[in-house]
Amino acid sequence: MSNLPLLLESELEVRDQGVSEFNSGTPARSWYHYLLILACIIFAAVSVGFVGTILWNSLPTWEHHAGTLLGHTGWQAPNGPFGGLAMIVGTLETSIIALVVAVAIGLGTSISIVFLIPRRFRTVVATLVELLAAVPSIVYGLWGLLVLAPWMLNTVNPWLNSWPFAKEIFGNTGQEFGTSLLLASIVLAVMILPTFVAISREVISVVPQDLIEASLSLGATRWQVIREVVLPTAKVGLFGATFLALARATGETIAVALVAGGVANVQFHLLYPGTSIAAWIATEFGEAGHNEIGALMALGTLLMLINFSLALVSRWLVSRQRKVLAVV
Amino acid sequence: MDQEFMSKMETKVDAPATLEATATKPERGAAAMQLKDVSVSFHGRTAVRDCTFDITKNRVTSLIGPSGSGKTTLLRALNRLHDLTPGAKVGGTIMLEGTDIYRGDITVTELRTRVGMVFQRPNPFPTMSIYENAISGLRFNGIKKKSILDEAAESSLKSAALWDSVQSRLKVAASNLSGGEQQRLCIARALAMDPEVLLMDEPTSALDPIATLKIEELMTTLKERVTVIIVTHNMQQAARISDDCAFLLMGEDRAGELIEFDTTEKIFNNPIDSRTLDYTLGRFG
Amino acid sequence: MSDIVEIEQPQDAGHEMRDEIRQISDKFRARRQLRSRLMVILCGVALGVTAIPLGLLLYQLFRRGLPVILHASFFTQLPATPTLIAPNATGGVSNAIIGSLVLTAYAAVMAIPIGVLVGVYLAESSSKLAAALRVISQTMAGAPSILMGLFAFSFILQDLHVGFSAIAGSFALAVLMLPVIVIASEIAVRGVPNTLREAGLALGAKPHKVSLKIVLPAAVTGIVTGIILAISRAIGETAPVLLVIGGGYINSWKPLDPVSALPLSIYENAKSEWPSLRTEVWGIALVLVVFVFVLSLSARIWASRKQQAR
């Protein structure tokens, strides 16, 4: 339970409730009961207020400028037009690249932790991954900005640009700084890796030992067991892990703000600077006037929508996974 | 039970019951597996020891005894499943058709294609169909030719008495089958590899009586195709289906040991060791 | 001769395909095993790759940050602005330290009581309200933290006409911490065995007293773990506080005063033109990371102590 991402996926199967004031027949209401209900009301109010406030503030923008926000580039403070396309594209680019990298490495890591590492090392390694998750976003951003960016600028970018098809993917840069969409993607990948590993590890480790022994007894090699029995059985849950990691990637603010370069252009060249929705809100809000705040709030609702739907899909997938195993 | 056999046994009642039963010792056929001083220990703690007996080809050999006597532990040594367990050590010699399965010229994957296993709880692969489950072993081993796969599927499902009931729905998910059918699918899955030996670890203990009966009926035909070694905690089942019996018991050092090995007839009607008699008479569980 | 009982030798049938099967599988065996070995190594490499960023990061943190924090003034002095004459006069970060403590303290006061109570409710009730709140808390727990900043800005700053202040930042952090505490508390209370509850009721205690006096104390370990995790997260977050706390340059406890925070001061100084400030941020980052690590590890140790106690 000391694992934040795992808190999001439920250990909360609806267990046999049985014995509690709420489920007993007697309608006796104590002060304790009312206190609990009060707390629930406050919590609900805060949550509703959370969504509602941001939505309310963004209504004017949605009413009048939805098209600009979603379809145009070019963000002109203080009075508009506020084109959010660059942020949307940037979010998609960085999140998806980060996801691909994180899943590739994360899957191998989970498999190692569950199957390949001797039991006594497992706690150490698991703790390591948790510590990765605990590092604050700002520290990743700082590291990315002050350590990785110069390294990218001096070493990696020139090397990448020497590839034959470099121009299409990377763009030939005369950059001053090493900040770029690519760097943001890499930093994001590092940040969402623990999320993916935590959940995929859980999902893989509950594949019944029975199935593993049965496949071994048929003469399968270790890798065959993993690839043809364990992974397919855990497939749904692994998708759940993917969606959650993606959700986290889209919501990352500060690290991206520091290393993506902060330029609001729709950009498909990865070595050029860009931005994401969350990063843009963070960087622009400080100086924003009333109209711009409304537009930023609108971006916020977009972010909320993306994040919430990804998280809900993830949760649904993980609960579906449980059903796959229940049938066995 | 063979009538002729029974009558011969009856005439032996007057003969002195000595340990030199060599006079009546039956000629055995070829040995499928041979165990000599086999023991299994985990992190130094012995779980089962002193197992020496031969498994005769095309017969059903049952490992019986109260719980904790090491039957399953011994069984799992026969297809090297203990290789998975850190700290597990298997001592003694286990031969499969003349090859030492631990130290001989045979890889563990090859061994497992020749010695199959069926587990206590039915465990078909949940993401695969009936057909895919049946031929999963062949696929693992690199066999892709459809004609072979189809033939193996049909043959093994027939041997498991499942073909008639599933041939029209082979592509259906395996989880749609009942518990007993799933277990027979697992038997088919193991048989598809055409192993020499089939290990069965309490295969009916998780099934209802009717399903259990179906599988027990299977045994007589199964043994024409494979040598069966079955662990069962159900004495009556052992008496019903097995030809030979190995009785194991936990000793004072909490390690299981082989007490007696003989034909089922002998074990249940005229065992040599008094402990065997006590067990078969139900004096302890 | 008649003494020898012969065992019927049964037939051995149905092996037409055996040779072909064995032949094909023998052919492939070596290749499969090689592949298995390669993939296993690849997975191990992936594990190594996972460890690399953490290693590099920690290395840089200590290399650049340790010299900075070895001066007591780092912790005790207020920040100063470097000038051309005195480019190294960065002062300390006492305002950020105090600020972080203040923010976390106020946020904890707001979030813990409500969070625990809601968690208890969710564990003990199977009503529709409980189901809805559960989905809400899980969704909120994963929400981008910048949104909490937006919420606090709109509600506290605009609607309530409070200026940049500690209370605004605390509010944002409380909204952040709440779902984490709710989820952790629910897990903790659910973890209490039903038998304990039943024993209490069998003794004639009223349900709410059972909940309060028997179940809650038993769940304390899990609840505390959740609180530690929530605090650990809150301390490191920049986005929620960035918009609303104002970055005060004084040490203040007052809720209505603007404050600074450790993550915020990193953010402000990371892009500074002064190298001395850019070096200083490593010290702040080191303090932050050490603090967060200590909290995370404590949570883990605390949680496993609970396991042992069982």
DSSP chain B: --HHHHHHHHHTTTS---S-GGGGPPBP--EEEEEEEEEEEETTEEEEEEEEEEEETTSEEEEE-STTSSHHHHHHHTTTGGGGSTTEEEEEEEEETTEETTTSS--HHHHHHHEEEE-SS----TTSBHHHHHTHHHHHTT---HHHHHHHHHHHHHHTT-HHHHGGGTTSBGGGS-HHHHHHHHHHHHHTT--SEEEEESTTTTS-HHHHHHHHHHHHHHHHHSEEEEE-S-HHHHHHH-SEEEEEEE-TTS-EEEEEEEEHHHHHHS-SSHHHHHHHTTS--
Q: Tally the domains of chain A.
A: 1
The answer to the question of residue A233 being in a domain is yes
Determine whether A211 is exposed, middle or buried from the number of CB atoms within 10 Å of its CB (0-12, 13-18, 19+): buried
B159: chain C residues, CB-CB within 8 Å: 14
What's the pLDDT tens digit per position in A95-138?
A: 999 999 999 999 999 999 999 888 888 888 888 888 888 899 99
Decide if pLDDT at C101 tops 90: yes
The answer to the question of residue A148 being in a domain is yes
Contact C5 B138 (CB under 8 A): no
Q: Once rounded to an integer, what is the mean pLDDT over residues A271-275? A: 88
For chains A and B, CB pairs below 8 A equal: 71
Question: pLDDT band for position B14 (50/70/90)?
Answer: very low
**For residue A262, what pLDDT is reported?**
86
Q: What is the pTM of this model?
A: 0.87
Q: How far is B245 from chain A (nearest CA, A)?
A: 24
Q: What tokens appear for B20 in the block?
A: 């030199």
**For residue B156, what pLDDT is reported?**
93
Question: pLDDT band for position A148 (50/70/90)?
Answer: very high
Q: Once rounded to an integer, what is the mean pLDDT over residues A282-293? A: 88
Q: What tokens appear for B268 in the block?
A: 């249940």
Task: List subunits contacting chain A, requiring 3 or more Cβ pairs under 8 Å.
Answer: B, C
Contact A20 C124 (CB under 8 A): yes
Question: pLDDT band for position A156 (50/70/90)?
Answer: confident
- pLDDT above 90 covers a percentage of chain B that reads 66
Contact B175 A327 (CB under 8 A): yes
**For residue B41, what pLDDT is reported?**
94
Decide if pLDDT at C134 tops 60: yes
Q: How far is B173 from chain A (nearest CA, A)?
A: 11
The answer to the question of residue A2 being in a domain is no
Q: How far is A232 from chain B (nearest CA, A)?
A: 7
Q: Once rounded to an integer, what is the mean pLDDT over residues C221-229? A: 91
Contact C44 A253 (CB under 8 A): no
Q: How far is A78 from chain C (nearest CA, A)?
A: 18
Q: Once rounded to an integer, what is the mean pLDDT over residues C223-241? A: 92
What's the pLDDT tens digit per position in B196-242?
A: 999 999 999 999 999 999 999 998 889 888 999 999 998 899 999 99
Contact A216 B84 (CB under 8 A): yes
Lowest model confidence (mean pLDDT) among A11-20, B18-27, B43-52, C269-278 = A11-20
**For residue B18, what pLDDT is reported?**
41
**For residue A236, what pLDDT is reported?**
92
The answer to the question of residue A194 being in a domain is yes
Q: Say which of A18, A43, A147 has its CB closest to residue C60.
A: A147
> Which of B18 and A264 is assigned the larger pLDDT?
A264
Domain range for A131 is 30-327
Question: pLDDT band for position B5 (50/70/90)?
Answer: low
Q: Domain ranges in chain B?
A: 30-125+196-280
Question: pLDDT band for position C109 (50/70/90)?
Answer: very high
**For residue C196, what pLDDT is reported?**
84
Q: Once rounded to an integer, what is the mean pLDDT over residues C81-91? A: 77
C46 touching A (Cβ < 8 Å): yes
Decide if pLDDT at B274 tops 70: yes
Residue C101 CA to residue C170 CA, distance in Å, equals 10
Decide if pLDDT at B4 tops 60: no
Question: pLDDT band for position C10 (50/70/90)?
Answer: low
**For residue B285, what pLDDT is reported?**
59
For position A276, which CATH number holds? 1.10.3720.10
Q: Which residue of C has its CA nearest to B107?
A: C29
Contact B263 C7 (CB under 8 A): yes
CATH architecture under which domain B30-125+196-280 falls: 3-Layer(aba) Sandwich (3.40)
Contact C3 B225 (CB under 8 A): no
Q: Once rounded to an integer, what is the mean pLDDT over residues B157-182? A: 91
Q: Which residue of C has its CA nearest to A140?
A: C57
Decide if pLDDT at A43 tops 70: yes
Mean model confidence pLDDT for chain B: 87
Secondary structure element (H or E) that encloses residue A209, with its range: helix A209-217
**For residue B17, what pLDDT is reported?**
43
Per-position b or e across B188-224, b if 16+ CB within 10 A of its CB? bbbbbbbbbbbbbbbbbebbeeebbebbeebbeebbe
Lowest model confidence (mean pLDDT) among A272-286, A294-308, B7-21, C162-176 = B7-21
**For residue B22, what pLDDT is reported?**
43
Residue B260 CA to residue B273 CA, distance in Å, equals 7
